[in-house]
Structure 1
């Protein structure tokens, strides 16, 4: 399955990360220095390296402080593209769920996106036969030796979500699941990043043991859009 980009991409060079959500870049075609919004709050230490190639989109909207958004970055010294847009996986997975493009999730019927239940808003409400199913999507951008790691920065929000999914699972009212979406093509397996966030790792391990379904899918990025790949293993054991 393919999801095309709607915006024109402009090639630039990454110069500096000003803060968590702001980058300083230089456009390749004009050498203009631009301030770029970064959606991904992760550390991205292996990607945001000065001199690395980055692709940005332009948005001339009155309410925006920055007119540029970071879209893609190259893995250093390769042609592999990595998505920096944290909302992209949800769009891709929504389409995949609606069209049953993921064979392992084809038993689920799509019901709603951004469904509020308990103390949180969940990415997707699905249904398996007559049983409701809550699915939370997590974006993976960190890779080492072919393994994708999540998170690449401590995530209290992510831990809260996993713990709540565990409680909901144990209540018997909903089946629950976590889907890791790898926003790059060079990941063959996903693991929790225990040395960055041991609390999340422990929560994910408990979730799996409690019946929360943990899955991951690979993707491939081009300058035209994102391709959904295959389901890949998730190794949760501590």
Structure 2
């Protein structure tokens, strides 16, 4: 299955605080306290707790204000690792579509990335191999998990809700096939569901999407300090059967 290595060696560090959405204060193993860029703007409050171990990648641009980028974070029980790079999900899926290794889309061919329809831009445009049908695919990165269930989003997402609404409308008018692929950037998620307690509007729109013909898929990943690998499929449950306490 598709594998993306981390390009530069990772440095272990300790999380201190998060002064804003995109900056972390961390302590390197040398004892130096410095700043690191955080690519994931989500809440991440379950992951970013004082003293938690992070893995950092050195910045490729020597002129950048932050010398490091946060790549991985350990979980509370020190396993598994969780990716802090939301864009990795798109890179993984794009490569897998190119390699034709996703059974969910075995009859579909990748046409291009970043395809605009109306006022929105969707992650991937695909064409059916034998039918005159096109599909729009949107990828969502999942980093929050509880009791083996991946949960999305971990913060209110007006943009994500808008994408779901538009995919539903396009599916209903019959001109497009539409799909959402949730990628759990951690290996301990056996299923994925909407986090209705965090963003009830997104959860409601996802249920409407399922009923309106939008295809919902999930995938796990396997992470190490060497890279990330796209894992096995996992089900998406837009109608959770168990109540959370």
TM-score over 0.5 (shorter chain): yes
Q: Higher mean Cα deviation, 212-221 or 59-68?
A: 59-68
Offset at residue 5 of structure 1 (A): 1.3
C-alpha distance in 1 between matches for 2:238 and 2:206: 7
Structure-2 residue corresponding to 1:5: 6
- State whether structure 2 residue 121 is matched by structure 1 residue 121: yes
Q: How does 1:95-114 map to 2 (within 5 A)?
A: 95-114=95-114
Structure-1 residue corresponding to 2:225: 223
C-alpha distance in 1 between matches for 2:145 and 2:108: 29
SS of the residue 2:164 aligns to: helix
Offset at residue 156 of structure 1 (A): 0.3
C-alpha distance in 2 between matches for 1:90 and 1:15: 29
C-alpha distance in 2 between matches for 1:60 and 1:148: 32
Offset at residue 187 of structure 1 (A): 0.2
SS of the residue 1:85 aligns to: coil
Structure-2 residue corresponding to 1:55: 55
Question: TM-score normalised to the size of structure 1?
Answer: 0.96
Question: TM-score normalised to the size of structure 2?
Answer: 0.94
Offset at residue 61 of structure 1 (A): 1.9
C-alpha distance in 2 between matches for 1:63 and 1:134: 38
C-alpha distance in 2 between matches for 1:31 and 1:210: 54
Structure-1 residue corresponding to 2:206: 204
Query: What 5-or-longer segments of structure 2 have no aligned partner?
Result: 241-245
C-alpha distance in 1 between matches for 2:118 and 2:27: 45
SS of the residue 1:163 aligns to: helix
Offset at residue 79 of structure 1 (A): 3.1
Identify which of 177, 180, 192 aligns with 2:194: 192
Offset at residue 67 of structure 1 (A): 2.3
Offset at residue 62 of structure 1 (A): 5.7
SS of the residue 1:66 aligns to: coil
Query: What 5-or-longer segments of structure 1 have no aligned partner?
Result: none
C-alpha distance in 2 between matches for 1:77 and 1:178: 30
- Aligned-residue Cα RMSD (Å) equals 1.2
The number of residue pairs the alignment matches comes to 237
